[in-house]
Amino acid sequence: MIAKFPIARDDTWYLAWPDVALHGGARLVCVFAACTHHGNRDRTQMMCTLSDDRGRTWSAPHPLTAETRGDPKTVPYWNCPRITALADGRLIAVVDRITKDGGGCAENHLLESRDGGESWSAPRRVPVEGIVPDRLIVLTHGVHAGRWLLSAHARADAQWRSQQRVWWSDDQGATWQGPAVIARSAELFHCEGSILELPGGDLACFLRENSSTGIDCHVALSRDAGVTWDEPWRFPLPACHRPVAGLLATGEVLITHRYMQGGLGWAGWWTQNTFAALTDTASVLAGDRAKAHTRIMPLDFDRSPQSDCGYTGWVQFADGEIYVVNYCVDDWQRGQIRGYAFRREDLVLG
């Protein structure tokens, strides 16, 4: 059901945290991080690779940013890139640059490509603070159509364990407003939000819960284009890390995510599974776990004793094929980037 394709792997770099955009209906543009190791960022660079045959083969990766070198406690380093294809043909990448080792203190930068990912502008800092940004969201409904949203999470203070926040721009990134708080809690650790605009114009932010206990994904809803958000509620995606939500051509919601069971996990790293889940807008708006349904399909299993996987991005072609990018170790000695092609009927027949 699921076809797998190599995208990138390297003898010296640890490759991870990819995202993908569909440019012009045909070209796939994948961005990802290259570093020394998941747990070592003394060398980092963001990379880009292209495919003009639906992800079956890919170009040699080329730099998205300059390389950083040095002790990550003192030298700012690149972390996690995301990418969005705009209706006017531009590609916008957002990358966080961590300025304090392990502390969740990060600035965010936008880069632009006008030639399908062949070349990129220099990074331009925007007033979005936090790590692991969501992709740039462009609203399409109501009076706020055209609004840009950028979200990231940060460690909070002694009162809050973490907070997911969002900033918005009504002039295509020239100026920004916010932040608005999507989620923060004294008990739970909400992070890595994925914002989805639903067909009626409501926004849903799918959130990782990072207590390492296998807690469900949470969903927060906004009905005013991201300015205010309801209290997050439990959504039936157990042990969900780094959800990436989007709409299929059917109007259904697809969410790709890492499964992290908690406990001691496994020797070395502790993530072995990447999933794809199908749901619908009624479930996303239900506000009650008992009234929401999901259908969850295994996407890949990382067989390495030092397994590490599950940050994803995905697109859907006009003919319905879904293409996902993911990182894993599996049959390589360090992180690699892999692609997957399947269709909606591989999730459920009929």
**Tens digits of per-residue pLDDT, 241-254?**
999 999 999 999 99
Instruction: Give the right CATH number for 3-347 from 2.30.30.240, 2.120.10.10, 3.30.70.2340, 3.40.309.10.
Output: 2.120.10.10
**Tens digits of per-residue pLDDT, 304-320?**
989 999 999 999 999 99
CA atoms of 49 and 63, how far apart (whole Å): 9
SS3 category, 315: strand
Single pTM value for the model: 0.96
Q: How far is CA 50 from CA 61, 117, 329, in A?
A: 8, 7, 21
* Torsion sign across C-alpha atoms 120, 326, 210, 217: positive
**Tens digits of per-residue pLDDT, 198-246?**
999 999 999 999 888 889 999 999 999 999 999 999 999 999 999 999 9
Q: What is the mean pLDDT of the chain?
A: 95
CA atoms of 92 and 166, how far apart (whole Å): 17
* Torsion sign across C-alpha atoms 235, 221, 179, 88: positive
Does pLDDT of 104 surpass 80?
no
Residue boundaries of the structural domains of the chain: 3-347
Buried-exposed string 156-186: b where 16+ CB fall within 10 A, e elsewhere: beeebbbbbbbbbbeeeeeebebbbebbbbe
Pairing of strands 273-279, 253-259: antiparallel
Which phi and psi angles does 45 have, rounded to 5°? -160, 140
Would you say 197 and 140 are in contact if contact means Cβ atoms under 8 Å apart?
yes
The length of the chain, given as a count of residues: 350
SS3 category, 89: coil
Residue type at 132 in one-letter notation: V
**Tens digits of per-residue pLDDT, 171-182?**
999 999 999 999
